[in-house]
Chain A
Amino acid sequence: MLEQYLGVAILMAISCAIAIGMVTATTLLGPKRSFPDKDEPFECGESQIVSPYQRFSVKFYLVAVLFILFDIEAVFLFPWAVLYQRLGWFGLIEMIVFLLILGVGLMYVWVRGGLDWE
């Protein structure tokens, strides 16, 4: 079984080599002509007034939490889908119960406006 991963390992090594090679090439080949004004981060021609490192809206955080929860749900569904035809009606009922409980959660999030992006 371990031999299966040989291809993955080789491909990973080669693609890392390609990516690192590209970054190295562009660092070495290009000219280096820098002066303070040019080195400033782009701000439509102005000097940067506000640092980008401000606090972010909490709605991004909510999206990330919901993402984790539904990702875990999806991960449960994957092996179930593969086995579905062997599990039969029992499999269907247990997954409908699972989805119903999570559906209640989704409804709650929906009603409370957790899915709105304003």
Chain B
Amino acid sequence: MELLIFYPLAAFTVLLALGVVFNNSPIGSAVSLIAMMLGLSGIFIVLHAHFLAVLQIIIYAGAIMVLFMFVIMLLNLKGDDKAWKIRERNLYLSIMTGVMVLLALYKMIDKVLDTTFGEGADVPDTFGTTVAVGTSLFTEYVLPFEIASILLLAAMVGAVVLAKTKVD
């Protein structure tokens, strides 16, 4: 039953990931990427990670992609702009990167094919719910949680320094 949901979701996600790569308008790519995030969050739900699924949408699809869109507009890459098309001298670099990624992927797929999978473990009904995630976050993992605030503080300072420095 879960596999029956997983495979269409996985296909949807991969298809949209391809859409990100092959779209020739940058905003179109971004829209594909957002839809892909929704597919990923669906896969999280199949894995019983309910809280993570909704975080995936809020943080990645809802927040980080807004920044992506703003950056695309900030840099002003228009759909049929020449800057967006692959240039001659970038071509070799792209091919080299592609080959390396393929090699890495091959290694991974090879490893996965060697593994034998058992039955999925039965998880309790409360697994992955807000209460379950929150309990471990705020009791067992207090230190990482507090350190996260320092990380956010650093990011805030960085953003202001970058955006508010007078260049003239």
Contact = CB atoms under 8 A, between A and B. Distances in A.
A80 B138 CA distance: 7
A5 interface: yes
B93 interface: no
Interface stretch (B10-18, B59-67, B110-118): B59-67
Interface in A46-94: 53-56, 58-62, 64-69, 71-73, 75-76, 78-80, 82-83, 87, 91, 94
19 contacts: A55-B76, A56-B70, A56-B73, A59-B163, A62-B164, A66-B156, A67-B66, A69-B152, A69-B156, A71-B62, A72-B152, A79-B51, A80-B138, A82-B130, A91-B138, A94-B138, A101-B149, A108-B156, A109-B159
A10 interface: no
Nearest to B133: A79
Contact of B145 (A2, A64, A78, A94): A94
A2 B74 contact: no
A51 B122 CA distance: 58
A90 B85 CA distance: 55
